[in-house]
Amino acid sequence: MKNLVIVESPTKARTISRFLGEDFEVIASMGHIYDLPKSKLGVDTEKDFAPDYQLLKDKKKTIDEIKKVSKKADKIIMATDLDREGEAIAYHIAQNIGSKDVDRIVFHEITKEAIEEALKNPKKINKDLVDAQTARRVLDRLVGYKLSPILWSKVRRGLSAGRVQSVALRLIVEREREIEKFKKSPYYTILTTLKKDSTETIFELLEINKEKIEISEELDLYDGEYKFTKTSIEAQERATKIEEDLKTKDFVVSDVTKKEMKRTPPPPYTTSTLQQDGARRMGLSGRRTMQLAQKLYEEGYITYHRTDSVAIADSARNQMTEYVKQQFGDKYLPETPRFYKNTSKNAQEAHEAIRPAKVSVTADRITKDLGAQYGKLYEIIWRRALATQMADAITESTVVMVDAGSGAYTLKANGSVLVFEGFLKINPFALEDKRLPDFVVSEKLNYVNSLSEFHETLPPPRYNDASIIKTLEEKGIGRPSTYATIISTIESRGYIEREESRFKPTSVGIAVNDFLVDNFSTVDDIPFTAEMEDELDQIANGEKEWVPVIRQFYDPFEKILDKVKDVKRVKIEVEQTNELCPECKKGNLVVRTGRFGKFLSCSTFPDCKFTKPLVQETNLLCPKDRGKIVIKKTKRGRRFYGCSNYPKCDFAAWKLEDIKQAAA
Partner DNA sequence: CAGTGAGCGAGCTTCCGCTTGACTT
Is 582 a binder of DNA (CB under 7 A)? no
Torsion (CA) 89, 90, 92, 95 in degrees, nearest 10: 170
- The region of 454-462, 513-521, 538-546, 649-657 touching DNA under the rule CB under 7 A is 649-657
Q: Pick between residue 85 and residue 465 the one whose CB is nearest to DNA.
A: 85
Per CB under 7 A, which of residues 334..373 are in contact with DNA? 348
Local structure of residue 423 (DSSP, 8 states): G
Phi, psi of 147 (to 5 degrees): -75, -40
Q: How far, CA to CA in Å, does 34 sit from each of 50, 54, 138, 399?
A: 14, 5, 13, 63
d(CA 645, CA 569): 37
**Residue from the set 25, 35, 352, 465 that interacts with DNA by CB under 7 A:** 35
Tell me, residue by residue from 81 to 120, as one string, x for binding to DNA by CB under 7 A and - for no binding.
x-x-xx----------------------------------
Q: Is 39 in the site for DNA (CB under 7 A)?
A: yes
**Segment near DNA (CB under 7 A); pick from 107-115, 123-131, 251-259, 601-609:** 601-609
Shortest spacing between CB 409 and DNA, in angstroms: 55
Q: Which of 40, 120, 181, 341 binds DNA (CB under 7 A)?
A: 40
Least CB distance to DNA at residue 602 (A): 6
542, 536 in Cβ contact below 8 A? no
Q: CA-to-CA distance for 230 and 186, rounded, in angstroms?
A: 9
Regarding 131 and contact with DNA (CB under 7 A), the answer is: no
Write the binding mask 297 to 316 for DNA: x where contact by CB under 7 A, - elsewhere.
-x-----x-x----------
**Cβ proximity to DNA, 145 vs 301, nearer residue:** 145
Q: How far is the CB of 484 from DNA (least distance, A)?
A: 10
Nearer to DNA, 555 or 625 (CB): 625
- 651 by Cβ neighbours in 10 Å (0-12 / 13-18 / 19+) ranks as middle
Question: Binders of DNA among 156-195, rule CB under 7 A?
Answer: 156-166
Select from 353, 298, 301 the least CA-distant residue to 480. 353
Only one of the segments 4-12, 502-510, 518-526, 554-562 lies at the binding site for DNA (rule: CB under 7 A); that segment is 4-12
CB of 122 to DNA, least distance (A): 21
**Interface with DNA in residues 192-251 (CB under 7 A):** none
For DNA, which is the closer residue by CB, 322 or 537?
Answer: 537
Min dist. Cβ of residue 365 to DNA (A): 22
601 binding DNA? (CB under 7 A): yes
Site for DNA in 13-32 (CB under 7 A): 28, 30-32
With CB under 7 A as the contact rule, the residue among 599, 620, 621, 628 that binds DNA is 599
- 588 is a site residue for DNA (CB under 7 A): no
Interface residue with DNA, options 634, 660, 661, 662 (CB under 7 A): 634
SS3 track for 112-146: HHHHHHHHHCCECCCHHHHHHHHHHHHHHHHHHHH
Q: Applying CB under 7 A, which of residues 281, 522, 577, 654 lies at the interface with DNA?
A: 654
- Catalytic residue, chosen from 297, 301, 304, 495, is 304
Whose Cβ is closer to DNA: residue 161's or residue 400's?
161
CA–CA gap between residue 237 and residue 254 (Å, rounded): 28
H or E, element range at 86: helix 84-96
Q: φ, ψ for residue 564 (rounded to 5)? A: -70, -20
638 sits near DNA (criterion: CB under 7 A): yes
Give me the DSSP letters along 36-74: --SSS--EETTTTTEE--EE-GGGHHHHHHHHHHHHH-S
Q: Is 633 in the site for DNA (CB under 7 A)?
A: yes
What is the full DSSP assignment across 259-313?
Answer: EEEEEPPPPPB-HHHHHHHHHHHH---HHHHHHHHHHHHHTTSBS-SS-------
Binding of DNA by 8 (CB under 7 A): yes
* Binds DNA by CB under 7 A, chosen from 233, 273, 632, 659: 632
Cα–Cα distance, 473 to 224 (Å, whole number): 13
354: DSSP letter: B
Q: Please identify which residue in 104, 137, 317, 475 interacts with DNA, judged by CB under 7 A.
A: 137
91 catalytic residue (yes or no): no
- Rounded to a whole number of angstroms, the minimum distance from the CB of residue 299 to DNA is 11
What burial class does residue 46 get, using C-beta atoms within 10 Å of its C-beta: 0-12 exposed, 13-18 middle, 19+ buried?
exposed
604-623 positions binding DNA, by CB under 7 A: 605-606, 609-613
Residue 397 binds to DNA (criterion: CB under 7 A): no
Nearest residue (CB) to DNA, 406 versus 616: 616
Q: Strand 75-78 and strand 3-7: pairing?
A: parallel
Q: 403 near 251, Cβ under 8 Å? A: yes
Cis before 606? omega within 30: yes
- Rounded Cα distance, 594 and 572, in Å: 12
CB of 155 to DNA, least distance (A): 8
5 binds DNA, rule: CB under 7 A: no
User: Which residue in 51, 480, 494, 505 binds DNA (CB under 7 A)?
Assistant: 480
Size of the site for DNA (CB under 7 A): 86
One-letter amino acid at 575 equals: E
542-571 footprint of DNA as x/- string (CB under 7 A): ---------------------------x--
In the complex, the smallest distance separating the C-beta of residue 167 from DNA, rounded to whole angstroms, is 8
Q: Which is nearer to DNA, 327 or 661 (CB)?
A: 661
Q: Which is nearer to DNA, 141 or 338 (by Cβ)?
A: 141
Conformational region of residue 300, where left means phi above 0, alpha means psi within -120 to 50, and beta covers everything else:
left
DSSP 549-618: HHHHHHHHHHHHHHHHTTSPPPPPP-EEEEEEPTTTSSSEEEEEEETTEEEEEETTTTS---EEE--EEE
524 binds DNA (CB under 7 A): no
CA distance 274 to 277: 5
Should residue 141 be labelled a site residue for DNA when binding is judged by CB under 7 A?
yes
- We find the least distance from the C-beta atom of residue 638 to DNA, in angstroms, to be 6
Peptide bond just before 647 cis, omega within 30 deg: yes
Residues identified as active-site:
304
